[in-house]
Structure 1
Amino acid sequence: MSGAPLARTVGFQPGERNVFFHLLTACNLSCRHCYINPTQHGTATLPLATVLQWLKLFARAERQTTLILLGGEPTLHPQLAAIIKAAKSMRYAVTVDSNGYLFHDLLDRVTPKELDYLSFSLDGPEAPVNDPIRGQGVFTVCTENIRRAVALGFNTSLIYTVSALNIDHLHRMPPLLADLGVRRFFIQVIGLRGNPAVQQPDGASNWQVEPQRWLAVVPQVAEAAARLGIHVVYPKVYLDREEPFQCAGMVAENFFIFPNGRVYQCPLCEDHPIHSYQIEDNRLVHRDGLNEDRFFPLTIPEGCVMNRLLQPDNIAYQPDGTPVHRISCCLLKQEVLPLI
C-alpha cells in the first residue's frame, strides 16, 4: 500500500458498548500522573464472585461488548485469569491494561485466544524519560514483558500518556514499538484528574500541552507509526470548525466501574460523586439528582460541557469571547490504519 496514512474520526455508534472495569485501586507503582482517587473510587479488591456478578450486569448475549480490565494494576488481582476466562464466556472482547509487571504469572495462565489484547503503559522511549514519571526500573521490566508477550503470540498494544513532561520524546516511540512488535499504539492526553488535578509536575509550568503543540506533534507521530505497520488511535481533542459536537453519553454506552460500586459514563467526572449509576446488591441503579448525565444534553460554544465545568483552564478565548478551539468529547478518537 502506498500514499500517506490518513487519520479518520471514529464516530460514536448507537448501541456501541464499552465497559472499563477497575477491579481494584491498588498498584505497585506511584505514577506521577495517576488518575485513581481512592477517596472517590475506594480501596477494595473486588472478590471473584462480585466481579462475575457485575460483569453479568453489562454483558449482552445478542452482541459483543468491549471490556477493559483496569486497576490500579489489574494483574495484582490473584484471580485475573479466571475473570478473563469468564468474561470471554459472556461474549466480551477482553483487554487488560497493565503497567507491565504482569503479576501472578498471567502469561502462563491465559492464552492469546482468551485475551484479545494485552495493553502496556510507557511514557517514554527510554528509561531516563519514562522512569521519572512511572518509577525506577519500570521501562526495563515493561519492555522485557512486552517482548515475552509478543513471543507467546499475544496481541499487544501500548498507551503513551502525553504531557508537558514527555511530548518532546513522542516522535521516538514508533521505532521502539516496531522493534518490540506492538500492534496498536494509543496516544493519550493527560487528564486533570487524580494526581494531576492537585499537583503540578516538577520542571514544567503545567501538565498539559498547548493546542498548537499537540496539533503539530501528535498527528505526525501517528502517521510515522502507521508507516511502520502500527495501528494508531488518539483523542480528537479539538474539533474542526465544521465538525458537530457529539457527546458519547448521548449516543454510545460507556461505563466506568470502580470497586466502590460507582459507575460513571464520563471519565472527566471521576473525581466527583456525580456518577450516573451505582451498583447496589448486584443491581445497576440509576441515581437521581444533579449528576453527570443531566449535563450531557447541554449545548455550549466550547463543545464538551464537562470540560468547561471541570477543566475551564483548558479553554482559551478570542477577544470577542468565543472559544479559540471547541473541545471534543474525550472519548472521540482519531484512527490511523497501518500502511504495511
Structure 2
Amino acid sequence: MNKTITKIRWENGGCLPTPLASIWILGKCNLGCKHCYEGRSKAQKQVLPKERVKLIMNKLAPFVNSFSFMGGEPTLHPDLPELCDYAQQLGKYTLLVSNGVAVDKSMVKSLRDKVDCVKLGMDGTTDNYHDMVRGKGAFAKTLRAWEAMTPHISTMCKFTLNAQNIENLPQIADFYQQLGAKRLILNGWLKVGRGANIWNKHFALSSRQRQTINEYVTRELKPRYNVFPISRSCSLDNGCKVMPARTFYVDSRGAVSPCIFSAGLGVGNILSPDTNVETLLMQVNKIRQAHNNLHEPHKQVQKKHEMVVMKPTTFMPELAMQACRH
C-alpha cells in the first residue's frame, strides 16, 4: 500500500493527493439507490475490461496523483484487486467508492494491501433511514462490511443527507467513528441521475436545510477535526468551485469531464490512440471554468461557509496539490 504520497494521509485528516481521476469501471450494481448518479443508462450491464482500465490509468498517470474506481458498484468488477494493485504500482493513492454490500472477509483479504482507502456510502444511523434510500436489508449488509474492513483497510463514511434523514445529523459522527471510520464526508442529495426523478423530490434538501447542516458542521463538528476529520462535498459547500486540475471523471465511453456530477459535459475519448491527454485535460479545465457551478448552485448558503481556493489558470498538478478541502 502506498504510504509516501502525503505526510498526513487523507483518511487521517490530511489532503487528498490531487489531481484525482475517478474512473468508471462497470455499470452493474447490486442496489437500486434512489440517489444514484448513474440513473438509467445503456452502460448499466457493461464491464470495462481490465486492459482498457489499465490503458486509461497509463494515460492519466503523468497528470494525476490519485485514482478512484467507480461504477456501478466497483466491488463487482472481476478484476478489481488487480486494478487496485496496478494503481499502486503506478504510485497513486488508490480509493474505492462502494456500497459495501458485496464486501466480505475474502474480498478484504484480496484488497487489503492494494487499496489506500474505501469510501462507504451511507444514508442513516439506523436501517429505517438507510434502507429507505438503498433498499431493504442494505444497512445490515453494509454494517458487516464495516466490521470486515476496518481492522485491515482504512475506511471512511460518505453520508448523503436528505430531507428525510437530516434529523440523524447529531448522531452521524459518533456512530461512524465508533464503527471505525477514519473520516466523515457529508454529501447533499443532488438532483442528478435517479435523484432527479420526480418521485424522489421529497428527499431534496431545501436551502434552509443546507444552511442548517453547514451551521451545525461549523459549530459542532469542525472543532473535532483533529480527533475525527469531517469534510463537506461540493453538494453542501455552495456548489462546485473553479478548481482546474483538481478532479477528472472518465465515463463508460472514455469521455472526460470535471467530475461525475458533470458527466453530461464529457469530451473526447481518452481511449483513442489519437488523443493528446494533456490537451484533453486542459479542455476539460476550460469547461470547469466556464461552468463553475456544474450542478445546481446553492446560492442561498451563507458566504461564511465558502472555502477560499486557489485558482491556477493552467493545468499544473503541483499547484492543485496545495489545495485541500477540509
Query: TM-score higher than 0.5 here?
Result: yes
1:122 shift after superposition: 0.8
8 Å CA contact 1:124–1:170 kept in 2: the answer is: no
Deviations 1:50-72 (A, max 9, x none): 11111101113xx8711111111
1:152-205 per-position Cα deviation (integer Å, ceiling 9, x unaligned):
x21111100122122221221122112211111111122221112232436x37
SS of the residue 2:41 aligns to: helix
Partner of 1:256: 249
> Match for 1:306: what amino acid?
N
Are 2:40 and 2:193, in contact at CA under 8 Å, matched by a contact in 1?
no
Residue in 1 that maps onto 2:200: 201
More displaced 10-residue stretch of structure 1: 165-174 or 128-137: 165-174
- Corresponding residue number in structure 1 for 2:156: 157
State the AA in 2 paired with 1:106: M
2:69/2:96 contact within 8 Å kept:
yes
Corresponding position of 2:181: 182
Tell me which of 50, 53, 56 is aligned to 1:54. 56
Report the alpha carbon displacement of residue 222 of structure 1 after superposing the two structures with TM: 2.6
When residues 98 and 190 of structure 1 are mapped into structure 2, their CA distance, relative to the original with a 3 A threshold, is same
Local SS of the residue matching 1:20: strand
Q: 1:277 aligns with which of 264, 268, 272?
A: 268
Measure how far apart 1:264 and its partner are: 0.7
Is the 1:147–1:180 contact (alpha carbons within 8 Å) kept by the matching residues of 2? yes
Give the distance between the partners of 1:328 and 1:276, measured in 2 at CA. Answer: 29
Task: Provide the TM-score with structure 1 as the length reference.
Answer: 0.74
Aligned pair count reads 292
Secondary structure, in 3 states, of the residue corresponding to 2:150?
helix
**Alignment RMSD (CA, Å):** 3.4
Structure 2 counterpart of 1:219: 218
1:128-163 CA deviation, whole Å, 9 max, x = no partner? 111101111111111121111112x21111100122
Q: Which has the higher contact order (CA 8 A, sep 6+)?
A: 1
Q: Which has the larger radius of gyration?
A: 1
278 and 328 in structure 1: CA distance in 2 versus 1, 3 angstrom threshold: farther
Separation in 1, partners of 2:96, 2:260: 18
Query: Residues 1-340 of structure 1: matches in 2 within 5 Å?
Result: 16-39=18-41, 43-60=45-62, 65-102=65-102, 105-111=106-112, 113-151=113-151, 153-201=152-200, 204=202, 206-210=204-208, 211-223=210-222, 226=225, 229-235=227-233, 237-238=236-237, 247-249=242-244, 252-270=245-263, 272=264, 274-281=265-272, 284=275, 293-298=285-290, 305-307=292-294, 311=296, 314-315=298-299, 334-335=325-326
Matched-pair contact (CA < 8 Å) for 2:44–2:72: no
Higher strand share: 1
CA contact (8 A) 2:29 2:71 kept: yes
Indicate if the aligned counterparts of 2:214 and 2:305 stay in contact, CA closer than 8 A. Answer: no
Instruction: State how far apart, in whole Å, the 1-side matches of 2:293 and 2:65 are.
Output: 25
Could you tell me which runs of 5 or more consecutive residues in structure 1 were left unpaired when the two chains were aligned: 1-9, 240-244, 299-303, 317-322, 336-340
Q: Deviations over 1:94-150 (max 9, x none)?
A: 111110123584212122x32111221111011011110111111111112111111
Contact 1:170 1:221 in 2 (8 A): no
Instruction: Say if 1:57 and 1:196 are closer, same or farther in 2 by CA, change over 3 A.
Output: same
- Give the whole-Å Cα distance in 1 for the aligned partners of 2:16 and 2:141: 36
Q: Distance in 2 between matches of 1:205 and 1:103?
A: 27
Distance 1:116 1:82 in 2: 14
Could you say what secondary structure the match of 2:158 adopts?
Answer: strand
**Post-superposition shift, 1:230?**
1.8
Once the two structures are TM-superposed, the CA of residue 223 in structure 1 deviates from its matched residue by: 3.3
Normalising by structure 2, we get a TM-score of 0.77
C-alpha displacement at 1:93, in angstroms? 0.8
- Structure 2's unaligned 5+ residue stretches are 1-13, 310-322
Q: Distance in 2 between matches of 1:12 and 1:157?
A: 13
Equivalent-residue separation in structure 1 for 2:76 and 2:247 (angstroms): 24
